Amino acid sequence: MFVPARRSAFRHAGEVGEPIIKDYMDTWNIIPQLLISGITFGAIYALVGLGFVTIARASQIINFAQGEFVMLGGMVTFFLLKTIPLPYPLAALSAILIVVLIGFLLHLLVIYPLRKATLPILLMATLGASLFLSSSSALLFGTLPKALPPFSGSGPFEIGKVSVSPQSLWVLVATLLVLLSLYLLSHRTLLGKAMEASSTDALGADLSGISRHLMIFLAFGVSAGIGSIAGIFITPIFYVSYHSGTLIGLKGFIAAVLGGWGKHGGAILGGFVLGVTESLSVAFIPSGYKDAIAFIILLLILYLRPKGILGSPFIDSRRW
Amino acid sequence: MVDQVHKEFRKRDLLYSGALWLLSLIIPDPQLHYRREYQLRRRDLFYLLTILLLPLIWNDAHFHHLMVLAGIHGILALGLTLFLGYAGQISLGHAAFFGIGSYTTAILTTRYDISSFLAFWASGLTASFFAYLIGRPILKLKGYFLALATLGFGEIFLVLVRESPHLTGGVIGIFDIPFFSIAGFIFDTYLRQYYLIWGVLIGLVLFSKNLIRSKMGRAFLAVAASEDGASAVGIDVNGIKLGVFVMGAAFAGLAGSLFASVMSTANPDIFSLNLSVLIVMMVILGGMGNLYGPIAGAVFLTWLIDGLSRYQEYSLPIYGVILILLLIFFPDGIGTRLRVRLIYLISYWGRKRRREKVEL
């Protein structure tokens, strides 16, 4: 049996999807470092959760292929950067465009034909789309995990005893910008209000002349864009491989539910709470259990407070 | 107009009813639960004979092995169809109960030398025990959130299995599980395993048939139709949901036990989300609210996956596309859809010929 000799907290350090942390000896000394990495994780979950929220605010669909957009964002950028040597910003922009196109196609080919389908069928269809996207990206880009070069600077800089990678700051900035633009979209433009109307009251939206399917179509594009931005910003820190989309997507969804399903601020708050909790848990329990933490939080929040921390506009009654 | 057409008897109706009778032999009845009482029909005899004779006629080891897998998937789908097809709840964590059953048998037979027959029942009990524990809190959820909660349970199960190598062998799993045996008779060839699995499946189908025509079975349909309505007529909605969840988990646990003792291995990779998705697909493609459909769906999807495995790395993308296409074109099950289409076509031919006659 290949049981590891020492079940250290950092057994997986350097592996796929794990931050590379120096192996400090004392548990309490690494707490600030874990906090920093937790905030980075939290920003990522928040970004992915915002993608879910965008679709939820335009229709009551939950798109399980959201994580694949994140994976594709990183993968396509890597492909454009390395195989067709494009300059970095151009590669990133074209990757976002390509993923937005994939999001539109997902709506046109899967969601729109199933507009009258019942819930289990829609659920299965988005899961099938997620399977298709991840396995075809394995075909197209190979199965090896990939990492993009960081946006700026090379090594991490030190604040006191804590080392912070510049890319983490980039992720935080991206989260803030996406949050800001989503807020402006849904609170300051007619388009955003039309999107929200098509989710809250389908008949009312139809009567006021809003094309509901167009709104859902646009929401899929926006959410694919957010997913790909997340993918591009996180691939310099964490290796992205063809199967890493599912777990990131699920955790983003958990973040959105934890903060308050359907609220932008909720996704952000939930993301940070989830990221920090997960990171800090590494100090106390073996890191293999880290993935279970998110799902335990999901079960607890669904049982104790399905509305989420901030409350949800879609889940109003006690029985839902 | 249409009623008048159907009132009078025409000679060609004999032909149509013959075609429909033949069709009704092969295609599961989508409206089984509308019948007052279930009775053993000629169709069941047909199915039974097919199941008994097919492996003898098609005497091929690969076929037997595939049908063993299909039978195990059939038991899983049968358990889920009670939950998804009859009670209208969705679960994406069914593979976890399959895994619990599998590991129970694996641990009991390899560590404690308990006979596989006893381990078989213990697996069902263990799976239903865990289903009771997990079902109590999460079954108040609905729709997407129930799906997510059960999915979360499945993922937690996988993490626990991977991280406790002393109990479950970690990512490597448990090997050399003894074959299933009753009173010294060992099911060691594919043919014997085929009869074992399908025998268990037939027993569970009979059980489910009796269940769904019982008071509890009618309550499933009421809960699926409207929970508020069901509770208004005095049905204990939470109890019914918990009961059907536990029962589906028990089926999955039995299937897991059979899987462990037939494949003689238990490995966390098998019980992943993909298997849960596959089981739900079997139920959807078989048609909601009937018992034979999911089993047919299980056989169909098992064959499809085996056929696709020839294309190696292209198999998964093709599988994804086929799943989406099947969902788009057969949203209420392949059998149901075909049956409705064929009945429509037959009646259309009848009306068309009659119209032509009138115009002449």
Tens digits of per-residue pLDDT, B145-160? 888 889 989 989 988 8
Interface test with B, best of A61, A124, A290, A316 (most B CBs within 10 A): A124
- Which pLDDT value is given to residue B103? 92
pLDDT at B215: 82
Cross-chain residue pair B141–A246, CB shorter than 8 Å: no
**pLDDT (0 to 100) of residue B246:** 93
Window from A168-182, B35-49, B230-244 with minimum mean pLDDT: B35-49
Query: How near does any CA of chain A get to the CA of B15, in Å?
Result: 35
Token couple for B275: 């298997």
pLDDT at B14: 67
Per-residue pLDDT tens, chain A, 320 aa: give them. 343 433 344 444 444 444 445 454 566 677 888 888 888 889 889 988 998 888 888 887 888 888 899 999 988 998 888 888 888 888 889 999 999 999 999 999 999 988 888 888 888 999 999 999 999 998 888 888 888 777 776 677 777 777 777 788 888 888 889 888 888 888 888 888 888 888 777 788 889 888 888 888 999 999 999 999 988 888 888 888 888 888 888 899 999 988 888 888 888 999 999 999 988 888 788 777 888 888 888 888 888 887 778 877 666 544 44
* Domain ranges, ordered by start, for chain A: 51-242, 244-320
DSSP, res B32: G
Could you give the angle at which helices B116-138 and B143-163 cross, rounded to 10 degrees? Answer: 130
- Residues B247, B82: contact at Cβ < 8 Å? yes
pLDDT at B10 (0 to 100): 63
Residues 270-289 of B with CB under 8 A from A: 273-274, 277, 280-281, 284
Q: Residue A291 and residue B159: Cβ atoms within 8 Å?
A: yes
Q: Tell me, what's the pLDDT at A3?
A: 38
ipTM of the complex: 0.82
State the Cα–Cα distance between residues A34 and B200, nearest whole angstrom.
52
Return the H-helix or E-strand segment holding B266. strand B265-266
pLDDT band at B248 (very low <50, low <70, confident <90, very high): very high
Q: What is residue B201's predicted lDDT score, i.e. its pLDDT?
A: 92
Q: How far is A77 from chain B (nearest CA, A)?
A: 21
Q: Write out the two tokens for A276.
A: 């920090």
Amino acid at A5: A
Do B327 and A117 make contact, defined as CB atoms within 8 angstroms? yes
CA distance A124 to A142: 26
Contact list in A for residue B162 (CB cut-off 8 A) is 288
Say yes or no to pLDDT of B3 above 50.
no
pLDDT above 60: residue B322: yes
Q: Which positions 38-97 of A are in contact with B (Cβ < 8 Å)?
A: 62
B144 assigned to some structural domain: yes
Residue B38 binned pLDDT confidence (cut-offs 50, 70, 90): low
Which pLDDT score is estimated for B101?
92
Most B-contacting residue of A302, A304, A307, A317 (CB-CB within 10 A), to test interface = A302
| Residues in CB range of A311: below 8 A, 6 or more apart | A260, A263, A266
| Span B40-57, average pLDDT | 82
Least trusted range by pLDDT, from B87-96, B228-237, B326-335, B347-356: B347-356
Distances (CA, A) of B4 to B7, B99, B346: 5, 57, 17
CATH of residue B306: 1.10.3470
Give chain A positions within 8 Å (CB) of B169: 1
> Cα–Cα distance between B287 and B125 in angstroms, integer?
28
**Which residues have CB under 8 Å from B223's CB, separation 6+?**
B87, B88, B230, B235, B237, B240, B241
Amino acid in the structure at residue A286? P
pLDDT band at B61 (very low <50, low <70, confident <90, very high): confident
Asked whether the beta carbons of residue A124 and residue B320 sit closer than 8 angstroms, the reply is: no
pLDDT at B24: 60
- CB atoms closer than 10 angstroms to residue B258: 27
Q: Closest Cα partner for B252 from B274, B267, B271?
A: B271
Given this model, what pLDDT does residue B251 score?
Answer: 93
Per-residue pLDDT for B20 more than 80?
A: no
Q: What are phi and psi of B181, to 5 degrees?
A: -145, 140
Question: Rounded to whole angstroms, how far apart are CA atoms A272 and A255?
Answer: 8
Write the residue in B140, B148, B172 that is nearest to A1 by C-beta.
B172
- Is A319 within 8 Å of chain B by CB? yes
Of B310, B96, B238, the C-alpha closest to A292 is B96
Domain that holds residue B221: 31-331
Give me the residues of B, 120-149, that contact A with CB < 8 A: 137-138, 140-145, 147-149
Cα–Cα dist B72/B68, whole Å: 6
Check CB contact under 8 Å for B327 and A114: yes
- What sign does the dihedral B325-B331-B333-B336 (CA atoms) show? negative
Surface-to-core class of residue B210, CB atoms within 10 Å of its CB (0-12 exposed, 13-18 middle, 19+ buried): exposed
pLDDT tens-digit profile of A93-113? 999 999 999 999 999 999 998
pLDDT score, position A27: 65
The answer to whether B316 contacts A135, with C-beta atoms less than 8 Å apart, is yes
Question: CA quadruple B35, B37, B41, B47: dihedral positive or negative?
Answer: positive
pLDDT of residue A241: 83
Tell me which residue of B245, B264, B256 sits closest to B101, measured CA to CA. B256
Q: Once rounded to an integer, what is the mean pLDDT over residues B90-94?
A: 89
Chain A CB within 8 Å of residue B321 CB: yes
| DSSP-assigned states of every residue in A116-140 | T--HHHHHHHHHHHHHHHHHHHHHH
Which tens digit of pLDDT belongs to each residue from A118-128?
888 888 999 99
Q: What is the pLDDT of residue B25?
A: 59
Q: What are the chain B neighbours of A118 within 8 Å (beta carbons)?
A: 331
- Cα–Cα distance measured from residue B354 to residue B343, given in angstroms and rounded to the nearest whole number: 17
Distance from CA of A119 to the nearest CA of B (A): 7
The pLDDT score that the predictor gives to residue B302 is 92
Report the share of chain B in percent with pLDDT over 90.
22
* Cross-chain CB nearest to A286 (options B153, B163, B331): B163
Q: Is B325 on the interface with A (CB under 8 A)?
A: no
Residue B164 in any domain: the answer is yes
Beta-carbon separation of A291 and B277 below 8 A = no
Q: Across all residues in chain B, what is the average pLDDT?
A: 83
In chain A, residues with a C-beta closer than 8 Å to the C-beta of B155 are 250, 291-292, 295
Cβ pair B58, B194 in contact under 8 A: no
Query: Is A131–B277 a contact, with Cβ atoms under 8 angstroms apart?
Result: yes
* Token duo for residue B139: 């079954």
Number of domains in chain B: 1
Contact B224, B87 (CB under 8 A): yes
Residue-level pLDDT at A14: 43
Please check the confidence at residue B76 and state whether its pLDDT lies above 90. Answer: yes
Q: Is the dihedral angle over the CA atoms B85, B88, B90, B95 positive or is it negative?
A: negative
For residue B288, the distance in angstroms to the closest alpha carbon of chain A comes to 11
Distance from CA of A201 to the nearest CA of B (A): 18
Chain B residues whose CB is inside 8 A of the A257 CB are: 145, 148
pLDDT at residue number A17: 47
Q: B280 contacts in A (CB within 8 Å)?
A: 120, 123-124
List, in sequence order, the alpha helices (H) in B213-290: 215-225, 227-232, 237-263, 273-286
The rounded mean pLDDT for chain A is: 81
Please report the pLDDT score of residue A12 as a whole number: 43
- Give the range with max mean pLDDT: A91-100, B15-24, B160-169, B176-185: A91-100
User: What pLDDT score does A197 carry?
Assistant: 83
Chain-centroid distance of CA B184 in Å reads 30
Which residue among B149, B159, B331 places its CB closest to the CB of A298? B149
Q: What is the 3-state secondary structure (H, E, C) of A22-78?
A: CCCCCCHHHHHHHHHHHHHHHHHHHHHHHHHHHHHHHCCCCCCCHHHHHHHHHHHHH
Please give the Cα distance from B107 to B99 (Å, whole number). Answer: 12
CB-CB under 8 Å, B162 with A288: yes
pLDDT at B58: 85
